[in-house]
A and B are shown apart, each in its own frame.
Chain A
Amino acid sequence: MTGDHASLPHAPTRPGSPSADAPAIEAIDLVRIYHTHVGVIRRRPLDVEAVRGVTFDVRPGELFGLLGPNGAGKTTTIKMLITLLLPTSGSARVMGFDVVRETTEVRRRIGYVFGGDRGLYDRVSGLDNLRYFAELYGVDPRQRDRRIAALLELVGLTGREKEKVEGYSRGMRQRLHIARGLLHDPEVIFMDEPSIGLDPIGARELRQTVRSLVDAGKTVLLTTHYMFEADALCDRIAVINDGHIVASGTGSDLKSAVLNRTIVEIETFGVAPEAIDRLRRDPEVIAVNTEERDQSQILLIQSERGPEITQRLLGSLGDTRVGKVVAREPTLEDAYVHLIASTSSTDGADRAAALG
């Protein structure tokens, strides 16, 4: 993808936009409960609280990351903000417009990009997709083709636009999604896990494009469960877990929660659950997370003691076969795992452990 967003023709400033110091996105105590049921013959109602009082704001021109594991409530939060879902309670505004009552005003000002294979018409070309959505998004017909050409250039699909989408790779589809989301030159762009399933090069190109959007003055709300992505891109990050915002701030702010810690990484082969329990019971150990590899398990042990605790930890592992041992400073990923593990229910803790 190229990053030259300056070549994009911009729509004139729309009336009714908020002042520069007002937040571009404002969520106040958002709650969303899904009413569903369990059972086939005896259907019993079940309420699932996906979002439980989320509050945050995003300043104009800011790249804000919503970081959390699967099922944390990221997509539900985004869908409320883009008017696709009604909040059960709470309120939200985008560019000063209420997401419940002023849906058309909100929709004119937002772009929505999501990750994965869906959301495109596979059996026609990328160009046909863009032209169709340009009509739906009210793009001026006189500017349509110029705008599409600029977006194709931006996302690096120039020359491939006449091919059927069903023949596109995952990365190309994702880039087409981004072009679609930018057709009407939205002021605020919501990106829901846009890099999911992309190869490392595709993900890196996507990050460059996202960055260029912010450089061009767009406000971006990005959800991801990749820590490095949030750290590399976002001005501020909110960590969401079990429907709550459990921490927010810059990447450095989040890391500061674990700055005084040491992370000891121990590679083990066939470590027994009892050995991990012994580590967890150690009063000097704050958290233990495991990461499964092909033949081994990596234990990530957080402690406020320095590297000198390493021998004691190895002793707790008993006769477990041990490979590489490293003591290092914490990263944002460690901060994230700490936040998720310390704010999760049992299920959440397991999930955090699985995240490593």
Chain B
Amino acid sequence: MSAGRTLRLIGYVTWFNVRMLLVSEFFVLLTFISPLIFATLAFFLFRLGHGGSGQTLLYAALGSGMMGVWSTTLFGCGGAIAWQRWEGTLELLVNAPTRYDFILAGQTFGAVIFGFYGIVTTIVWGMVLFGMPLQATFPLVLPLSLFAAVISLGALGMLIATLFVLYRHANALGNLLEYPIWLVAGLLVPLTRLPDWIQPVSWVLAPTWGMEAIRGATLGDAPPWLAIGMCVVLAGAYYVLARVVLVYVLDKARRDASLALR
């Protein structure tokens, strides 16, 4: 398949998945409402603790938004597989003559991009209700930061989704990963406040560097090149790992006849 067709395929699957998520009340709630609740709580807490400066509120807004992005990534990637298993379309996707990793990539990017709407709603919420200023120290770097965050989270989502292809009860794992990653990736609590032994764990997580890249471009003193670079490196590593795992997973699914199980 040519590079153009591959990009078209991934783009189309991404768009289709965004549409599917938009017609799901659960995901609309998860993406648009829950970050607002997190953000509201965070705004009040940060006001109490830090006097509510504009920078602090934006820090909280971005963190809350990223919490929503992570939740959508987790449930959008894994949940989509579980839901397709339920609808009976998973077998058809796996059985298409197209490489399944491209389909999976489109699905996960769809979920991540959908999740990023949550950041926008959170910022608008903060501006309207809490008088939060909209600022970006490096406005030209910000799109790059957002793009880096999207690809790294998408690739991580893809890696997680491979497990959902294999195990029909992988939702339990998804639920387990939601809150700990909020903490370990420093989305609301700065990483420096966490125990030292947690830091290496946070370094291999896409949300950590995605958050760092976005906050660096909006609140930082210098462009967040390290964070952007780490996002790209991690995205590559996740993708390679996901492909390796996927070969094993699809072979095992054909052996175990697990694709049609609900």
By a beta-carbon cutoff of 8 Å, the part of chain A in contact with chain B is: 34-35, 79, 82-86, 104, 107-108, 112, 116, 118-124, 128, 132-133, 135-138, 141, 180, 184
**Pairs across A and B, CB under 8 Å, 12 listed:** A35-B256, A82-B95, A85-B254, A107-B96, A108-B97, A118-B89, A123-B20, A124-B20, A133-B92, A135-B12, A136-B96, A141-B8
Please state if B91 and A104 are interface contacts (CB–CB under 8 Å). no
A133: chain B residues within 8 A (beta carbon): 92, 96
Please state if A118 and B257 are interface contacts (CB–CB under 8 Å). no
Please state if B89 and A85 are interface contacts (CB–CB under 8 Å). no
Please state if A119 and B88 are interface contacts (CB–CB under 8 Å). yes
Please state if B87 and A121 are interface contacts (CB–CB under 8 Å). yes
Please state if B12 and A137 are interface contacts (CB–CB under 8 Å). no
What residue in chain B is nearest A50 (Cβ atoms)? B257
Please state if A107 and B97 are interface contacts (CB–CB under 8 Å). yes
* Cross-interface CB contact of A138 among B92, B97, B255, B259, cutoff 8 Å: B97
What residue in chain A is nearest B13 (Cβ atoms)? A135
B89: chain A residues within 8 A (beta carbon): 118-121
Please state if B254 and A138 are interface contacts (CB–CB under 8 Å). no
Cβ < 8 Å to A, chain B residues 50-95: 87-89, 91-95
Please state if B92 and A119 are interface contacts (CB–CB under 8 Å). yes
Chain B 96-123: CB-based contact to A (< 8 A → 1; otherwise 0): 1110000100000000000000000000
Please state if B87 and A184 are interface contacts (CB–CB under 8 Å). no
Shortest Cβ distance from residue B8 to the other chain A in the assembled complex, whole angstroms: 7
Shortest Cβ distance from residue A137 to the other chain B in the assembled complex, whole angstroms: 6
Pick the most buried of B23, B24, B87, B95: most chain A CB atoms within 10 A of its CB.
B95
Chain B 9-30: CB-based contact to A (< 8 A → 1; otherwise 0): 1001100100110011000000
Please state if B259 and A84 are interface contacts (CB–CB under 8 Å). yes
A-B pair number, CB within 8 angstroms: 73
Whole-angstrom distance between the alpha carbons of A124 and B17 in the complex?
Answer: 11
Shortest Cβ distance from residue A27 to the other chain B in the assembled complex, whole angstroms: 17
Whole-angstrom distance between the alpha carbons of A135 and B20 in the complex?
Answer: 16
A82: chain B residues within 8 A (beta carbon): 95
Known: A132-B12, A135-B9. 14 other contacts (CB 8 A): A34-B257, A84-B95, A86-B255, A112-B95, A119-B87, A119-B89, A119-B92, A120-B88, A120-B89, A123-B23, A128-B16, A133-B96, A135-B12, A138-B1
Tally of contact residues, B, Cβ under 8 A: 29
Shortest Cβ distance from residue A44 to the other chain B in the assembled complex, whole angstroms: 18
B19: chain A residues within 8 A (beta carbon): 124, 128
Shortest Cβ distance from residue A58 to the other chain B in the assembled complex, whole angstroms: 19
Please state if A83 and B87 are interface contacts (CB–CB under 8 Å). no
Whole-angstrom distance between the alpha carbons of A118 and B89 in the complex?
Answer: 7
A128: chain B residues within 8 A (beta carbon): 16, 19
| Top-9 shortest CB links A-B | A118-B88, A107-B97, A136-B96, A119-B88, A108-B97, A123-B23, A86-B254, A135-B12, A132-B16
Whole-angstrom distance between the alpha carbons of A184 and B97 in the complex?
Answer: 10
Whole-angstrom distance between the alpha carbons of A108 and B1 in the complex?
Answer: 13
Please state if B95 and A83 are interface contacts (CB–CB under 8 Å). yes
Whole-angstrom distance between the alpha carbons of A104 and B94 in the complex?
Answer: 11
Please state if B13 and A122 are interface contacts (CB–CB under 8 Å). no
A141: chain B residues within 8 A (beta carbon): 8
A180: chain B residues within 8 A (beta carbon): 92
B88: chain A residues within 8 A (beta carbon): 116, 118-120
Whole-angstrom distance between the alpha carbons of A180 and B23 in the complex?
Answer: 22
Q: A124-B19, A135-B13 are in contact. Are A104 and B87 (CB under 8 A)?
A: no
Cβ < 8 Å to A, chain B residues 218-260: 251, 254-257, 259
What residue in chain A is nearest B86 (Cβ atoms)? A118
Whole-angstrom distance between the alpha carbons of A133 and B91 in the complex?
Answer: 13
Shortest Cβ distance from residue A354 to the other chain B in the assembled complex, whole angstroms: 25
B91: chain A residues within 8 A (beta carbon): 84, 119
Please state if A107 and B12 are interface contacts (CB–CB under 8 Å). no
B98: chain A residues within 8 A (beta carbon): 136-138
B23: chain A residues within 8 A (beta carbon): 123-124
Q: A82-B95, A86-B255, A138-B98 are in contact. Are A120 and B87 (CB under 8 A)?
A: yes
Whole-angstrom distance between the alpha carbons of A141 and B103 in the complex?
Answer: 17
